[in-house]
């Protein structure tokens, strides 16, 4: 079963080889229950490496059945599609899966254009998002959770991540699952990843609670370096400025 699953994923990535976007798949960067990230070589771009994130259709994101994240997501769907997703028919499950992948690509595109610290999205096809590879030829960038920082660097990174949260909110996005585990570390700049569950605060009634939790999670990591802040106050201040269109 595992081998068949890997073959299915590699076949999905091969579309980009046929298109000439990548030359070959070099290996696995990260493998989880919901998706596998592959490192791919390319000779047609300035950067020699790209990352292919391949979702598994049988394991639609754990967020996809959680009302906290799905609230408000049906607003732009065709009535038949929305009804099928709600009823969890086969067509509905396929539509929901495609929507989660497309939502991540759209969010990455919006945030990257706005100057946020996220991977540049390159292309999307089926269950695959091709994006900027974060790291170098030797190894991928590590998650922030596995890095030891100096006090001054920690303070600067915390402030920069808060600025990214603010920038995302100004772009009508709340990450919703942010922590040191989905922030990649690279000298001088973090890189925030994993956005399929991101919510639109204009429509999701749980957005403020998710925003507060994102900030609390980050503060929990940086507190070990002596960083002291009030996550609730920060979240409420951002939310107030969002509501007043001041971001």
Measuring CA to CA, which residue among 90, 85, 87 is closest to residue 70?
85
Partners of residue 125 on adjacent β-strands: 128
| Structure tokens that stand for 119 in this block | 């991977």
Provide, rounded to the nearest whole percent, the portion of the chain with pLDDT above 70.
Answer: 85
Domains, the chain, ordered by start? 2-132 (3.30.200.20), 144-243 (1.10.510.10)
Residue 240 pLDDT: 98
Question: What does the pLDDT look like over 21-32, one tens digit per residue?
Answer: 999 999 999 988
Cβ atoms within 10 Å of 200's Cβ, excluding its own: 18
Specify the residue for token string 């303070």: 155
What would the mean pLDDT of 164-191 be, rounded to a whole number? 95
Q: What is the DSSP string of 169-223?
A: HHTT-B-SS-SGGGEEEETTEEEE---TT-B-TTT-TTHHHHHHHHHHHHHHHHG
Specify the residue for token string 């997703």: 85
pLDDT band at 8 (very low <50, low <70, confident <90, very high): confident
Highest-confidence range of 3-7, 83-87, 141-145, by mean pLDDT? Answer: 141-145
pLDDT band at 62 (very low <50, low <70, confident <90, very high): low
Residue 68 pLDDT: 85
Strands (E), the chain: 24-31, 35-41, 49-55, 121-125, 128-132, 183-186, 189-192
Residue 75 pLDDT: 57
Question: What does the pLDDT look like over 31-52, one tens digit per residue?
Answer: 887 889 999 999 988 889 999 9
Q: Which residue has the higher pLDDT, 47 or 198?
A: 198
Residue 85 pLDDT: 47
If you average pLDDT over every residue of the chain, what do you get? 88
Cα–Cα dist 138/186, whole Å: 14
pLDDT above 70: residue 130:
yes
- pTM (2 d.p.): 0.88
pLDDT above 70: residue 58:
no
Cα–Cα dist 153/145, whole Å: 14
Question: What does the pLDDT look like over 226-239, one tens digit per residue?
Answer: 999 999 999 999 99
Q: Which residue has the higher pLDDT, 83 or 131?
A: 131
pLDDT above 70: residue 140:
yes
pLDDT band at 111 (very low <50, low <70, confident <90, very high): very high
| Structure tokens that stand for 154 in this block | 């920690």
Contact call for residues 54 and 36 (beta carbons, < 8 A) = yes
Contact call for residues 101 and 12 (beta carbons, < 8 A) = no
| Structure tokens that stand for 183 in this block | 């922030």
Contact call for residues 10 and 25 (beta carbons, < 8 A) = yes
């Amino acid at each position: 079963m595992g081998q068949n699953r890997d073959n299915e994923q590699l076949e999905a990535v091969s579309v980009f080889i046929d298109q000439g976007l990548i030359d070959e798949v070099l290996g696995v960067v990260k493998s989880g229950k919901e998706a596998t990230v592959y490192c791919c070589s390319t000779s047609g771009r300035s950067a020699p490496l790209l990352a292919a994130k391949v979702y598994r259709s049988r394991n639609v994101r754990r967020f996809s059945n959680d009302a906290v994240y799905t609230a408000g997501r049906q607003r732009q769907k065709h009535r038949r599609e929305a009804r099928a997703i709600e009823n969890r028919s086969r067509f509905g499950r396929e539509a929901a899966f495609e929507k989660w992948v497309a939502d991540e690509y759209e969010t990455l595109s919006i945030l990257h254009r706005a100057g946020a610290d996220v991977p540049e999205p390159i292309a999307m096809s089926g269950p695959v998002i091709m994006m900027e590879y974060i790291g170098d030829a030797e190894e991928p960038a590590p998650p922030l959770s596995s890095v030891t920082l100096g006090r001054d660097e920690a303070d600067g990174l915390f402030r920069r991540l808060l600025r990214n949260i603010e920038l995302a909110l100004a772009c009508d996005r709340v990450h919703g699952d942010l922590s040191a585990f989905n922030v990649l570390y690279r000298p001088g700049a973090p890189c925030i990843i994993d956005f399929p569950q991101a919510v639109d605060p204009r429509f999701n009634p749980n957005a403020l609670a998710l925003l507060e939790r994102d900030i609390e999670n980050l503060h929990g990591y940086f507190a070990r370096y002596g960083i002291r802040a009030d996550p609730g106050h920060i979240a409420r201040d951002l939310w107030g400025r969002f509501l007043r269109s001041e971001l």
